[in-house]
Amino acid sequence: MKKTLFLNPPSFDGFDGGAGARYPARREVTSYWYPTWLAQPAAIVPGSKLIDAPPHRMTMEDVLRIATDYELIIINTSSPSLNNDIKCAEALKSQDSKVQIGFMGAHVTVLPEETLREAQSAIDFVCRNEFDYTCLELAQGRPYDQIKGLVYRDKNGAIKHTADRELPQDLDHLPSVLPVYNRDLDIRNYFIGYLLHPYVSFYTGRGCPGQCTFCLWPQTIGGHKYRAKSPAVVIRELEQGKEYFPQAREWFFDDDTFTTDRARAVEISKGMKRLKLTWSCNARATLDYDTLKQLRANGLRLLVVGFETGNRDILRNIKKGVSLEMSRKFVKNCKELGIKVHGTFIIGLPVESRDSIEDTIRFAQELDPYSIQVSIAAPFPGTELYDEAVRNGWLSNNVLLAESGIQMSTLSYPDLTIDEVEDAVERMYRRFYFHPKPILRMLREMATDGHLLVRRLREGREFLEYLGARKKIGGCRKHQQPFECS
């Protein structure tokens, strides 16, 4: 068995590029998701190690020092971080020309040959689709041409493809990632603004039946069929996790839509109640009142819900499958039951206009969820949104991030410029949070929780710095200066 290192490389300061991050970027406040997609093969490959460099503030020098002990290095990459990750691979190869290095993730699944050409000799292979057992066979030393789900460069420099690897259907056979977290990660370093700290997140299932045109993982890696571990296996993992992390104040199920199978979600929630664990998850606004009531009774604290937009035409264009009326009823039910809602919104979806942006801002204010996240529409390769953008000439550039790691717009429309999309993010945040309701909500929480008081003061400072940095990017573009102008 080859000594194997699974690596999320050093990157921008505050960059959340872990495979759990839906939008790899520097967020409004310190935010780090767990690298679950890296942790899963690390749990399968004996003797392997996981390095999640950004939240542990590890430098390239730190990584190079550790990497000398490993024969095989597998790096998680993404479209926004690709150039940075190639530089990391080049440094590792320069240190040891014999080390095998490969990339995994959605970007290389869609663009394997392009990635190998761009990385030149820095990487030897890329893993396509769900790569858990591809990584195991690489660690076992099997020849590349005998490993499914691989694109590699042979001894003559030619790029070769092997057959696709079938998606695993019985996820109960996948070992828990929690022992890897316990061995290789410090949970104190993981923050999400709307989750209690410290928290632990992981997947209990893969795939999503939703057809959203912008959503990356179902269209590239996991597919549209929800494949999940059985409730008994999930609860056993949580029993083990409670022993590993007694300090964890919240457990987050990071499945794209944890509540897809409602009966299963309820069954798992009963185990959470028995274990006396507070928990949250991703959900859609289609969840009915009775299910919400059962989940709340069994320890559910918060739901992360993608509302995306307040405009009916855009909802239809992106195939969301949720109406504005359904979202209103859903939030009303959650408030009645005492379930907090973190609402996620996207500016710049097809075909955004000044008026539709106002629709979204007003809709967020009307819903008044516990908290919001405002992202910029990111046309990742492999998504229907990307194909639509290319077909219609909406792609203005391929620069997904500023040099600081802050997300930027690459889409423009006939009646909306890139600058207007980016300005709208700041405007929406200001109009939502600088309003009496959310301010009073935060003040009440801070008055009753000293730990939260310190945290919210830090996050408030970071949030204002983020808004300032975003405004600075727009100003630099208008004056045709580098994005990090002083």
Predicted confidence (pLDDT) at residue 483 exceeds the cutoff of 90: no
Q: What was the pLDDT predicted at 467?
A: 73
Q: What was the pLDDT predicted at 160?
A: 97
Q: Which residues pair with 25 in a beta bridge?
A: 16
pTM of the model: 0.93
Q: What CA–CA distance (Å, rounded) separates 407 from 82?
A: 14
* Rg (alpha carbons) of the chain, rounded to whole number: 22
Kindly list the distances between the CA atom of residue 215 and the CA atoms of 129, 256, 384, in Å, as whole numbers in the listed order.
15, 10, 9
The pLDDT-based confidence of 486 (bands split at 50, 70, 90) is: very low
Contact 99, 72 (CB under 8 A): yes
The pLDDT tens digits of the residues spanning 58-87 come to 999 999 999 999 999 999 999 989 999 999
- Residue whose C-alpha is closest to residue 24's, from 40, 36, 11: 11
Q: What CA–CA distance (Å, rounded) separates 280 from 24?
A: 21
The pLDDT tens digits of the residues spanning 204-249 come to 999 999 999 999 999 999 999 999 999 999 999 999 999 999 999 9
Q: What CA–CA distance (Å, rounded) separates 344 from 318?
A: 15
Helices (H) and strands (E) in the chain, counts: 18, 17
Q: What was the pLDDT predicted at 18?
A: 59
Question: Alpha-carbon torsion 31, 37, 40, 41, what sign?
Answer: negative
Mean pLDDT of 355-363: 98
Q: Which residue has the higher pLDDT, 31 or 390?
A: 390
Q: If you ran DSSP here, which 8-state letter would residue 31 be given?
A: -
Q: Is 172 left (phi over 0), alpha (psi -120 to 50) or beta?
A: alpha
- Which domains does the chain show, CATH number per domain? 4-161 (3.40.50.280), 192-478 (3.80.30.20)
The pLDDT-based confidence of 437 (bands split at 50, 70, 90) is: confident
- Residue whose C-alpha is closest to residue 250's, from 272, 271, 278: 278
Tokens encoding 144: 């590349």
Q: What was the pLDDT predicted at 442?
A: 80
- Residue whose C-alpha is closest to residue 72's, from 96, 98, 100: 100
Mean pLDDT of 428-436: 91
Helix (H) or strand (E) holding 426: helix 418-433
- Residue whose C-alpha is closest to residue 342's, from 319, 310, 370, 307: 370
The pLDDT-based confidence of 482 (bands split at 50, 70, 90) is: very low
- Residue whose C-alpha is closest to residue 103's, from 261, 90, 444: 90
The pLDDT-based confidence of 15 (bands split at 50, 70, 90) is: confident
Mean pLDDT of 462-486: 58
Neighbours of 371 (CB within 10 A): 18
Contact 244, 182 (CB under 8 A): yes
Q: Which residue has the higher pLDDT, 295 or 406?
A: 295
* 71 HSE (CA, 13 A, CB side): 9
- The amino acid sitting at 217 is W
Predicted confidence (pLDDT) at residue 480 exceeds the cutoff of 50: no
Q: If you ran DSSP here, which 8-state letter would residue 71 be given?
A: S
Mean pLDDT of 190-214: 95
Predicted confidence (pLDDT) at residue 96 exceeds the cutoff of 60: yes
Q: What CA–CA distance (Å, rounded) separates 63 from 95?
A: 11
The pLDDT tens digits of the residues spanning 122-174 come to 999 999 999 999 999 999 999 999 999 999 999 888 999 999 999 999 999 99
The pLDDT-based confidence of 478 (bands split at 50, 70, 90) is: low
Average pLDDT, the chain: 92
What is the length of the chain?
486
Q: What CA–CA distance (Å, rounded) separates 150 from 161?
A: 6
Predicted confidence (pLDDT) at residue 433 exceeds the cutoff of 70: yes
Kindly list the distances between the CA atom of residue 294 and the CA atoms of 99, 252, 265, 290, in Å, as whole numbers in the listed order.
52, 17, 10, 6
Provide the percentage of residues in the chain whose pLDDT is more than 70.
95
Q: Which residue has the higher pLDDT, 417 or 404?
A: 417
Q: What was the pLDDT predicted at 261?
A: 97
The pLDDT tens digits of the residues spanning 286-327 come to 999 999 999 999 999 999 999 999 999 999 999 999 999 999
- Residue whose C-alpha is closest to residue 365's, from 437, 427, 316, 425: 437
List Cβ neighbours of 269 (8 Å cut-off, separation of 6 or more).
Answer: 279, 294, 295, 298, 299, 300
Q: What was the pLDDT predicted at 400?
A: 83
What's the order of all strands across the beta sheet hosting 340-347? 199-202, 250-253, 279-283, 300-308, 340-347, 371-376
- Residue whose C-alpha is closest to residue 43's, from 242, 180, 169, 164: 180
Predicted confidence (pLDDT) at residue 34 exceeds the cutoff of 90: yes
333-347 as b/e, with b when 16 or more CB fall inside 10 Å?
Answer: bbeeeebbbbbbbbb
The pLDDT-based confidence of 444 (bands split at 50, 70, 90) is: confident
- Among 27-36, 114-123, 216-225, whose mean pLDDT is lowest? 27-36
Q: If you ran DSSP here, which 8-state letter would residue 220 be given?
A: I
Contact 252, 301 (CB under 8 A): no
Q: If you ran DSSP here, which 8-state letter would residue 382 be given?
A: T
- The amino acid sitting at 244 is Y
Contact 140, 165 (CB under 8 A): no
